[in-house]
Every structure is written in structure tokens, then in C-alpha cells.
Chain A
């Protein structure tokens, strides 16, 4: 009995050590998943038939009821309809089955739940520079559903934790019988099991990236935009970390997602592979801006109030690569004003002055422009700015105060 147990524990050692060694050897990068290999595993109107997946879907029913009734959701029918149309276009075979919810959370994120409903954070709409980028993220999330990632990773975890428990128990009993302590090997096997779970999770993300790139390319969006998203995110995180005197996290063995850098590189290769020369691709930037126009001030406002000036400034600069406007200039000023370091006040004043030169400057730009002028002792100009503010926003909560300032 003991000889056999030792054999098994040796195997668990090999498995654990092997996984650890493999992970160390290759770092966290795994081979790129090719878009053409990504075939959807579910068809239209998919319903689970196996017991574990049925259980998972039932659990999700209540989760969806909770999310659908959440007071964090943005209910604007134009926006929600837009997102529904978008997932209906790039969602592959399950396009018509998906539900999509927009939550007012100023972070870069989107997620797909096992039963086919997705949640998009408002911070994503702020960061995407065109429809192709938003479609890329939505297609990535659709990819998780189309490739059945949730149930596959659940089964992977179940299988590995089952095997590990049996192995650990046998090693304990075998070790006790033989009078050897095998705890160190069991720990190594545990590390191996855990590492392999994270690796599996990263492999799924790589699949979803490849699937997403394929889906948007088929719909006529330039697939390179998916790589650009990561370039932007890396830039933003670097800027945010630099401001706080920290370093950006660059990926490790315990990450559930591949590093942003490797995703960007892989997606560039994907894009080169699937872009058909001569085929017209359109990133639909104009349409995108039309659609999100009504909440863009809210998106910028939420971001600026996160007190992360490094990221906010980077974001505004990135969005401005497609052209400055009054809104972006105003929020550039807000970043400086709220940061309030030496020299920030004149910087903010300059931004407000630049903002009001655009026809789309928000009312608040005139208000802050007026205050900046007042501080500089330019009372006449300030009064004109306040007057403009009051015409644009006669019911402003601070109207009485501004009227008094304007004299």
C-alpha cells in the first residue's frame, strides 16, 4: 500500500513541480491563439442541458434580476438601445440572445455572465475612441459566452481541486504508513494546481481576444482597434502610476488575465492575420460620438472626480488626439484645478479660457472662466463670462451667488 502511495505522491510532486517549472520557464505568456481557430461552440437560442451548467444558469437568474433592477444602471433608452444593437451585431451566433446592461461606474471594465448577459461600465464608454473599440470589447465578452468559458473553467477548477484533494489525502495516509512526511510535496502540488488554474484562466482570455478580433473584423470594423485599446490602457496606467510615484503592475503567475502588453502584441498579430487587403473597414467614430454625446459630460465628470489626475490627464490627452473641443478643454482645466499643486491654478485658467473659445463649451466652463478672470482682476471680462453662464443655465443652483459676483 505504501509503495503505491509513495508512487502517487511522487506523481503529484511531478505534476506540481512540472507546472511550476513550466510556468517559470515560459513566464506568463502562452502561445497566441489564432483567430481562425476560434469557432463558436454555441448556436442561437442556446440552453444548458448538463446538470452543472443548469445549476449555474439558475443561480444567474437571480443575479440578473438583481442587476437589471440595480439603481446604478444608466437607463437612457438611446444608449441602452445602442449597446443592444452593437452586441446584436458582433455577438456571433448568440447575438440575439444576449442582454446588456450599462452601469454608472467610472472604471475600464465589462463582463459577461454565464447565462449570456453582459454588464458594461460607463468608464469604458469614456475610454473608447470609436465604435470599433467598443465593439471589440463587447465582442471579447461575447467570445467568453460563445466559447463556453464559464462552464469550462468551472469544470477545470472542479477537476483539479478534486484530484488535488484525493492526492493530498493519499499522500498523507501513505506518508504516515511509511513514516515519511510528505507535506512539502503536497504543498508543491498545491502550488502547481493553483498555478495551472490561473494559467487556464489566462488561456480563456486569450481565446476571447482572438474570438473578439475575428467577430469585429467580420462585421467590418478594423481589428487593429482592439490592440489600440490595450495601448491606451497601458499608457493610462503608466501615467496614473507615475503621478503616484509607483510602477504599473506588469503581470505575474497569479494573474487571471494575460498581461496588457502581451494582449496588445497578440492582438496586433491577430489583426495583421485577419485584415483582408482591399476590404473597406470603418471604425465609425462619428456614429459613436453621436450616440454617447448625451452622457459624455457625466463620463468626464465622474472620471475627473476619481482624484487620479495622472490617469485623467492621460485620458483627456488621448481623446483629444481625435480633436479638442470645449468639453475636453473644460475637464482638462478641472483636472488641474482639483489637483491644486503649485502652478495648477494658472494652468486651469488657461484651459477654461481655451474651452470657452469652442462653441460647445459647457456652462460651467464659463463659470470657472469668470472666476479665474475675477482672481486676475479682470472684472469686466469676468462679468461678461458670468452673464454668459447665467444665460446658459438660468436655473443653476448657484445662480443667485453668481449674479451677486457679476454685480
Chain B
């Protein structure tokens, strides 16, 4: 009886402490791109590290390279299935017709706008002026100019970071779990953490039309949910992040009324 209770408690604990959350916002007029569109992916920001026993994150160059390649591959396959034509640039000097400085300006502007979106849409600090208006942010004329100069329809900004629990971290968690049997129960020392977000900018209007965050984390080391290093894990992440783009509210309502 006691044992079963303990097992149930453990299961609940594990269920509560490992989860994948995703939440997307779209411009009210947003329709997910489909058909023949040109998508520019600007310097995907990927980092994969290993969580040491004591909790410090050690960046891993080899894993990061693997993850980046897998993510780009998955992204290309996914967009191609919708009819998209994807260009991925890794460095600011790879985009012809646009200077490094211009691209840097757009990237920095986007970073600031993304931070604002995260603050006001995800961290609970809602703006009364933007209530009920979907995703109402824009990069303005700079992004329109980028579109005019390069001929792309959309720009996608992508960030993915994954921290994988090392052997030592898992052992520490197991030690904590073992302690449960004598009354010091601490398996939840903190395990894999993944944070991915993406923003889609319409280069015809300059508006940020769609934004999504995927946060996955486990308090118990050793529990995994999609490993970015593997092609399958990267494809799962790309699907979670970009696979279920929903149209904006106005568009949804219009299609319901029809």
C-alpha cells in the first residue's frame, strides 16, 4: 500500500516536472504562407550544451553543429511541403544586394521587437493598447526595404537552445530519487531544458505576423523530449514550432462565417 502510494506520487511528480509548452500568436489578418512563396531564414541561432553535475551548462560545439544542420534540413523539408522556397543564410555577408550593416540593423530591430513581444505576450505584462488585437508589432520600413531589395516574401528568425543533462547530472538525480526511500526526496534537481522561438515577418508590410515559443523542461534529469542533435528530434522541434501555424482571428472568423 505504502509502496503503491509512493509510486503514484513519483509518477505525478515526474509528470508535473516534465512538460512541453507551446503558445503562438498571430496578426489578426494572418494567413499561413502557402503556395509559391520565398522565405528567408536569417542566421538561425542554435546552441546545444550539456548540464554538468553541479548545473553549469557546458556549450558543445559538435552537438551545436549537428543540431543546426538537422534543424535546417527539417525546416527545408517542412517548408518545401507547403510550396515554400527557402534560403538559409549563416553570415551577414551572404545576402547579395544588402550590406552587412543593413542586415545587422534589421536583426537588432527584430531582437528588440521580439523581446517586447515576449514581455507583453508571454510574461504576463499585457498592454491595454494591444488587448484583443492579436499580434500587433511591426519592423516597419527597414523590413519592407529588405524585401524590396532581395525579393523575399517572408523573413523567419529562429532561436533554439537545448541543454542536455550529462551523465553526472542524471546520476545526481538518481541519487536524489534513491533518497526518497529514506525520506530525503530530491530527484528534481533540474534536467533537460529546451527553449525555441520563431518570429515570421511579412517583408511586404514589415509586420511581425506570427510568433511562437516552445519551452520544454524537466526537473528530473534523464527525461528526454526530442533531442535536437538527432534528425528526428530536430524534425519534432521544427514541427512543434512551425508545423501548426494557425491563421489570425479575423481570418478564422471570416472562414467560419463563410
Q: Which residues of A pack against B, CB within 8 Å?
A: 51-52, 54-59, 62, 65, 69-71, 154, 157-158, 160-166, 169-170, 172-173, 175-177
**Residues of B contacting A173 with CB < 8 Å?**
175-176, 178-179, 182, 184
**Residues of B contacting A56 with CB < 8 Å?**
59
Residue of B nearest to A173 (CB): B179
**Residues of A contacting B62 with CB < 8 Å?**
51, 54
Bound state CA distance, A177 and B175, in angstroms? 13
Name which of B54, B91, B100 has the most chain A CB atoms within 10 A of its CB: B54
Interface residues of B in 32-53 (CB under 8 A from A): 45, 47, 49, 52-53
A69 touches B92 (CB 8 A): yes
B64 touches A58 (CB 8 A): yes
B179 touches A52 (CB 8 A): no
**Residues of A contacting B45 with CB < 8 Å?**
62
Q: Does B172 contact A (CB under 8 A)?
A: yes
B182 touches A176 (CB 8 A): yes
Option from A51, A52, A169 in Cβ contact (under 8 Å) with B172 = A169
Option from B61, B92, B178, B189 in Cβ contact (under 8 Å) with A57 = B61
**Residues of A contacting B53 with CB < 8 Å?**
161-162, 165-166
Q: List 21 A-B contacts (CB under 8 A).
A: A55-B58, A55-B59, A58-B61, A59-B47, A65-B92, A69-B100, A69-B104, A70-B104, A71-B105, A158-B58, A161-B55, A162-B52, A165-B54, A165-B55, A166-B54, A166-B175, A172-B184, A173-B179, A176-B179, A176-B183, A177-B182
**A115–chain B nearest beta-carbon distance, Å:** 12
Q: What's the tally of chain B residues with a CB closer than 8 Å to chain A? A: 32
**Residues of B contacting A51 with CB < 8 Å?**
60-62
Q: 6 other contacts beyond A69-B100, A71-B101, A161-B54, with CB at 8 A cut-off? A: A54-B62, A55-B64, A158-B56, A162-B52, A162-B54, A177-B182
Q: Does B69 contact A (CB under 8 A)?
A: no
Bound state CA distance, A298 and B36, in angstroms? 52
**A14–chain B nearest beta-carbon distance, Å:** 19
9 tightest Cβ-Cβ pairs between the two chains A and B: A161-B54, A176-B184, A55-B59, A58-B61, A162-B54, A162-B53, A173-B179, A69-B104, A165-B54
Option from A158, A169, A175 in Cβ contact (under 8 Å) with B52 = A158
Assuming the A-B contacts A55-B49, A58-B61, A59-B47, are A169 and B56 also in contact, with contact meaning beta carbons closer than 8 angstroms in the complex?
A: no
Q: Does B168 contact A (CB under 8 A)?
A: yes
**B137–chain A nearest beta-carbon distance, Å:** 22
B60 touches A169 (CB 8 A): no
B59 touches A165 (CB 8 A): no
**Residues of B contacting A164 with CB < 8 Å?**
54
**B110–chain A nearest beta-carbon distance, Å:** 13
Q: Does B186 contact A (CB under 8 A)?
A: yes
**Residues of A contacting B55 with CB < 8 Å?**
161, 165
A157 touches B56 (CB 8 A): yes
Bound state CA distance, A163 and B56, in angstroms? 12
**Residues of B contacting A52 with CB < 8 Å?**
58
